Structure 1
Amino acid sequence: MVKVEAKKRTVSKKTKRSWRKHIDIKDVDKFLENKRLDERLGTPFSERLDSELFVIDNERNNEPVGTLTTKKERRLALKQKEPRCFAILKPHTAVPDPIAKRNRVKTPEERKNPITRLKEAKRKLNGQLKLKEKIAERNKAIAESKRKSRFKRGDFTTDIWEDKPVTQSELNSEWLISDTIRHTLANTGQKRKRVPEILYKKPSILPAVEAPHPGTSYNPSYNDHQELLIAIAEKEKKLIKEEEHLKRVTTKMFTKVTTEKKTENWINELSEGLPVKSNKNSEDSNVEDTDPVVKSVNPPVKNAKKTLVQRRKQKEQKQLALKQAKEKLEKKKVADVYKLRLLEKQLTSKELKAKKLREKRMKLKQRKMTEPKTLNKRKFEAPEPDFQMANELAGSLRASAPVGNLLKDRFKSLQQRNILAPSALILKRNKLKVKRFIKPDHKIPLQ
């Protein structure tokens, strides 16, 4: 059977779009690809010289082929070998860099005009410096002095017991204030550290150790012991009274409701506002509908102007009211002259009231000075006073039982004197709750 060749299809290449679509550019792409490969790898091997492809080995190899070196020599060779991490930094192509000369951004000093640079150099030689240049020079000198005076590690040449602080006898004068002394020292190359004023003040006026109540002794007198017990009883009564008050205004205020009453109240609350049929409401609506008189919400207003007589009378009334107000004011001024005693009494009572208020504020201020300040979210809780009942008193130090804790007492004293912030004993640390669950693919079906 004779093979029939298919007739080659002819297409139109009139436009650029059809030309690009039907033109065969495989040979051009292949040529360009070979060209790029040659640029990357260099000159083709077919065009290179033998001297470029082959090298004559003239060196003698004393080491026998196939002999293994020792472990030490292998490690040394690996150490001297170039790390593989630096291979990425090497060029992986033979194509030269298209930008042979890279541009570098010049500094502001380099961008200046040569004439301007020459003028600035002459100005600096003459000692004419700008303010920012003076500040920079001073800061540089201070940094250099700090660097030199910095303690060097391992330097034990100085004896700290022999060094004595240098005292400025001229500056230690009653005529110079602290700001003047600090300014003088700073400008003469020396410095004096300013100690905060709070370091000279105690955080609280309370004493470090307070004398205990005489009734807490192991062998107290009868009166002292009774005074201590009465004070503790009064404090306990006050606490009980507060608890009863809280119960009265919270728990006892609300009565118990039965289930039936609760359900009824719930139904009434839900049905509030719903339409309910009632005869009274229908009668009221009928009465409203049958009312013959219909009143407008916003009735029309007549535009009736006032007559001249009405305007004159209105003006006379205003003038009369002003005249009466002035006469009343004059009468009050005359009457106030005879009220000097009353005014004096009012001023005296006002001054007395201000004095009482001032004394009250002073007492409050004195009381607040003894109270602990708010240092954090917790409030200071005073420790419970230590006491013993009459039957627990032994009469001798040897037979008495230990009462109180010295460490706890000192800790509470530090909190009360605003040295430590109030804290609470945390017995259990709150850990983050992690939700645990079984993955669906790990579940084992029971059925």
Structure 2
Amino acid sequence: MAKPVMKKKKRVSKKSKLSWRKHVNINDVEEFLEDQRLEERLGPPLETLTDDQLFKVDVEPSKQTVSSKERKRKRFLEPPRCFAVLQPHTKVPDPIRKRNRVRTKEERKNDLIKKKEAENRAKGIWKHRELQAIRDQKVNEERKQNDPKRGEFVQNIWDADDQLTENNGWFSKNTVKHNLAGTGKIRKTVKDLKKIKSSVLPTIEMPHPGMSYNPSYDDHQDLLKTVAEKEMKIIKEEEHLNRVTRDMFSKVTAKKRDSMWLQEMSQGLQSASTNDNDNESDSEYKALNPPTKNKKKTLQQRRKQQEQMQLELLKRAAKLSKKKISDIHQLKTLNKQIDKTESKAKILRERRLKNLLLKKKEPKRLSAIKFEETELDFNMGPDITGNLRSLKKEGNLLTERFKSLQKRNVIEPSVRRRRKKSKVKVYTKPGHKEDWITTVAR
């Protein structure tokens, strides 16, 4: 009988993880893990369970009513749902029964050191950080006792004076603001309504008396005069613009324009006669900035220069002293000049103050568009009938109110802008043309 042939064990490399898994039999590990997964699904094996866990004695149910307070208490004792992620999601027991635990600082201390510290505490010898911890604990307990309980209102917060907010001349506004930045006690200043007002103009301005449906002759003529002056001013500005722009240039023919252009462009060019003379003189070399010899001054020239400078200084001193003497004799004229300059300055001051008051009535520049007042509403003499029923209507109430808001700086001046719609090119598709029937018939 032939003996079975023994296969020689093949030696393979198990260096990498891939080769280890390929050439190592791990069936027993897989079977163990499969059993563990089965236990996780069905529970532990029956051999390990006790009789109390397997069987249940059937008795009469005890009717116990649970109060709402107990229900709430049980609900609070249960861990919150947000911590469910931290709980183990498997019933497989931990293979490592005993795990290492990091001992606390007190547990790591030596027994001799613990004994020595206990003796020192009995004698009244404490460490600095221990004393500080006791002090902090007392301060926290006192603070908790002094804090008002929920629902108690013992202190009036409006009577409490804050030293930081008191500005008694020592603190500037920036200092107070900096100190109160993180305390939540920033002082809020309420602005005066008079200062908030945007304009000194009244909300509703009184109209001109000449705008009445039955005005007097003088008031109506005064209104027409102001309207005419405004129109004349506008006409004068238009004429000025035409004069300084369009009327400054005269119209010329195309031929004359070309001759003028040729004449202007040829300015500065040399003629043929001058070119010949220039060619003859090109052979000679002439320096544009010839060097000068550094001639030093002699001692006699330096002495005379110093004498002239001293004489000039003496003349200036004599002139100054002479002017002082003449100013003494001219005190009356000087006083008159001072009075004259002071009176001029006073007139200028009054004029500036007057202009400032006028500027307060003018609208401010709130946008790129300048405010323009509406034209005065007026009726000519024949249109005035003397009663409201047959009076010719002028102006618009909404426009007047809108312009009043702009004039009083409530809203910024604006212009109605209309968007230009892009022209859409319309064309007919080749298949939608009207002559498609004729093309098919052909």
Aligned-pair CA distance for 1:429 = 3.5
Give me the whole-angstrom Cα distance separating, in 2, the residues matched to 1:289 and 1:37: 103
Matches within 5 A, 1:107-146: 118=130, 121-125=133-137, 127=139
Distance 2:186 2:32 in 1: 79
1:96-245, aligned counterparts within 5 Å?
Answer: 118=130, 121-125=133-137, 127=139, 193-197=188-192, 200-245=195-240
How far is the alpha carbon of 1:368 from its aligned partner?
0.5
Deviations 1:72-91 (A, max 9, x none): xxxxxxxxxxxxxx9xxx99
SS of the residue corresponding to residue 379 of structure 2 reads coil
Change (3 A) 1:255 1:356: same
Contact 2:13 2:19 (8 Å CA) reproduced = no
Q: Distance in 1 between matches of 2:295 and 2:323?
A: 44
Deviation at residue 227 of structure 1 after TM alignment: 1.4
Give me the whole-angstrom Cα distance separating, in 1, the residues matched to 2:402 and 2:379: 22
Equivalent pairs, count: 316
Summarize deviations over 1:220-275 as a string: whole Å, max 9, x none: 122221211111111101101101111111111122233233334455566666x6
The answer on whether the counterparts of 1:38 and 1:44 sit within 8 Å (CA) in structure 2 is no
Q: Which runs of 5+ in 1 are unaligned?
A: 1-25, 60-85, 104-114, 129-133, 150-165, 172-176, 437-447
SS in 1 for 2:376: coil
Q: Counterpart of 2:354? A: 363
Matched, 1:328 2:319: yes
- Describe how 1:426-437 pairs up with structure 2 within 5 A: 426=417, 428-429=418-419
RMSD: 5.1
Q: TM-score w.r.t. structure 1 length?
A: 0.56
SS in 2 for 1:122: helix
For residue 293 of structure 2, the aligned residue among 282, 286, 301 is: 301
Q: Kindly provide the amino acid, as one letter, of the partner of residue 196 in structure 1.
A: K
The residue correspondences of 1:392-403 to structure 2 (distance < 5 A) are 392-403=383-394
Match of 2:274 among 267, 270, 280: 280
- Structure 1 CA distance for aligned equivalents of residues 131 and 206 of structure 2: 80
Kindly provide the amino acid, as one letter, of the partner of residue 220 in structure 1. Answer: P
SS at match of 1:319: helix
- Identity, % of aligned pairs? 38
Deviations 1:383-440 (A, max 9, x none): 11111112212221122133222222122212212222222223x2368x7999xxxx
Query: Alpha-carbon deviation of 1:351?
Result: 0.5
In the alignment, the residues of structure 1 paired with residue 378 and residue 360 of structure 2 have an alpha-carbon distance, to the nearest angstrom, of: 28
Deviation at 1:353, TM superposition (A): 1.4
How much does 1:48 deviate?
Answer: 3.1
2:251 to 252, 256, 280: 256
Distance in 1 (CA, whole Å) between partners of 2:167 and 2:36 is 86
- Per the TM alignment, residue 303 of structure 1 is displaced from its structure 2 partner at its CA by 4.4
Correspondence for 1:319 among 294, 310, 313: 310
TM-score, with length taken from structure 2: 0.57
Aligned letter for 1:384?
A: E
Change (3 A) 1:413 1:296: closer
